[in-house]
Amino acid sequence: MSETAAELRAANFIGGEWVPSRDGDVYERHNPWRPSEVIGEFPSSTAEDADAAIEAASRALRGWAGLSGAQRGAYLRKAADVVEARVEEIAQDMTREMGKPLRESRIEATRAAAILRFFSGEGWRPVGELYEQSAAKSLVYTRRRPVGVVGLITPWNFPAAIPTWKMAPALAYGNTVVIKLAQDSPLTGLHLVRALEEAELPDGVLNLVIGSGSKVGNAMVTDPRVRAISFTGSVPVGQGVRERATKLSKRVQLELGGHNPLIVAEDASLDKAVEAAYAGAFWSAGQKCTATRRIFVAEPAYEDFRERFLERIAQGKVGDPSDPETEVGPIVSESQFDDVMSGIARGREERGTIIAGGDRADPDAYLIPPTVFEDVPDDAFLSCEEVFGPVTTLYRFSSLEEAISRANAVPFGLSASVFTSNLAVAQRFVDELQAGILHVNSQTAGADVHVPFGGSKESGYGPHEQGRAAIEFYTEEITVYQDV
């Protein structure tokens, strides 16, 4: 364990104090590359701990909301400096706790600092609009106010970026926070909370509770003091959260799964398309909501693309995620590994042919090599459902219209790519593809910090996250009629 990690309190952070769970229960987290190695013991919290955190956040709300945006931004700027100085330690811990290849963990930890820095500047932006009343020349203005106590529930797969892109805007716009990190990757999030503590955030403004979704997450969703829930995770869990939260008239934001297509047109640069397909499907072992799951290749380019893609897979480095050269590391946990392996088995049963990978690649690690299917029917499980691992399928198409309609034929709508050198093809893709994030000549994954991020159809609900879009969810717009 790195020095800072050893100093990190593997505890809840409530009202400015690091505390164990009320009933003292803990769980162990293991390294998915070497599962006999224990990463640490973390609190296995319950609804009682969530209650204490919500109470602390409620008490801190008035003071925090009373500061100016610029004053709040100053705390985020300090936290950004702390995170930036610790990128390497955070990245190392991220890799150990959830198996993300170090090269990607470094990028993600750096991005967490950039997100904090971006939102530290948002406090200087306008907070409303000024109008004249229609009947008299008196003023009417709008004003953005914090929503209140917000509950943030995050997945394990981007343990630095996702908690940061929820916490930073929530705090910048004057809300107080209760965050529940995923049990599979709490260590990275502990670094982030620690950075905000070191930035001297007032007590109770940010509260962390580590524990299961069914206990801690559910307590946040059903407590009336929490006015908004921002959730990132799987479709079924997210839909349940929405149901329970909206019954209590809470504001809800969901970022859910995807089944993201990449379309390779006949005139595409195949080298670029192959590289993007590899990165999109296999980096982080395909454990990204925006990973490339379906690759549609124009019939005349199919054989050439297939051959180059298999060559690229043969050259890719698969294995120890702490080796900076590694491109594909392990799956996060045994249960996720079992899910991915059963998705692969189902693909085989449903007439799919495996042309790369498909079997466990290490007796200890939860390691699955890049796996590629072809000949999978459009109505088979693999063509319709998200398998959260390094698994992708090749399909042939004969017209752009056909490619777009098959790409759109799933309930998901997170991200999509097209590779083409024809502007008209690119334009048609941008007009018709049903997804919240579109890429022309780049891979389906990746998100810049200063622009909106979010899915359509079943992949998202509520306002988008990140960039200036975040203000929509984390503030309430009120209208003031002001006569003299």
In terms of Cβ atoms closer than 10 Å to its own Cβ (0-12, 13-18, 19+), residue 441 is: middle
241 binds ligand NAP (CB under 6 A): yes
386 binds ligand NAP (CB under 6 A): yes
Helix axes 87-98, 69-85, angle to 10 degrees: 70
Stretch that binds ligand NAP, among 1-9, 51-59, 130-138, 212-220 (CB under 6 A): 212-220
Query: Whose Cβ is closer to ligand NAP: residue 287's or residue 420's?
Result: 287
User: What character string, x for contact with ligand NAP (CB under 6 A) and - otherwise, covers 284-323?
Assistant: -----x----------------------------------
Q: Please state, as a whole number, how many other Cβ atoms lie within 10 Å of the Cβ of residue 309.
A: 26
Min separation Cβ 92 and ligand NAP, Å: 22
Min separation Cβ 212 and ligand NAP, Å: 4
User: What character string, x for contact with ligand NAP (CB under 6 A) and - otherwise, covers 330-369?
Assistant: ----------------------------------------
42 binds ligand NAP (CB under 6 A): no
Q: What is the amino acid identity at position 143?
A: R
| Residue 289 annotated among the catalytic residues of the structure | yes
Alpha carbon 163 to chain centroid, angstroms: 8
Min separation Cβ 472 and ligand NAP, Å: 16
Min separation Cβ 454 and ligand NAP, Å: 7
Determine which one of 122, 289, 458, 465 is catalytic.
Answer: 289
Query: Please, what sign has the CA dihedral across residues 227, 233, 235, 237?
Result: negative
* Residue 57 near residue 207 (C-beta atoms within 8 A): yes
Min separation Cβ 96 and ligand NAP, Å: 18
Q: For 13-70, give the DSSP string.
A: EETTEEE--TT--EEEEE-SSSTTSEEEEEE-B-HHHHHHHHHHHHHHHHHHHTS-HH
212 binds ligand NAP (CB under 6 A): yes
| Residue 384 annotated among the catalytic residues of the structure | no
Terminal-residue alpha carbon distance, the chain: 64
- The DSSP output letter for 161 is H
Nearest to 461, CA basis, from 476, 475, 472: 472
Q: Which residues bind ligand NAP (CB under 6 A)?
A: 153-158, 180, 182-183, 212-214, 217-218, 221, 232-234, 237, 240-241, 255-258, 289, 386, 388, 414, 455, 459
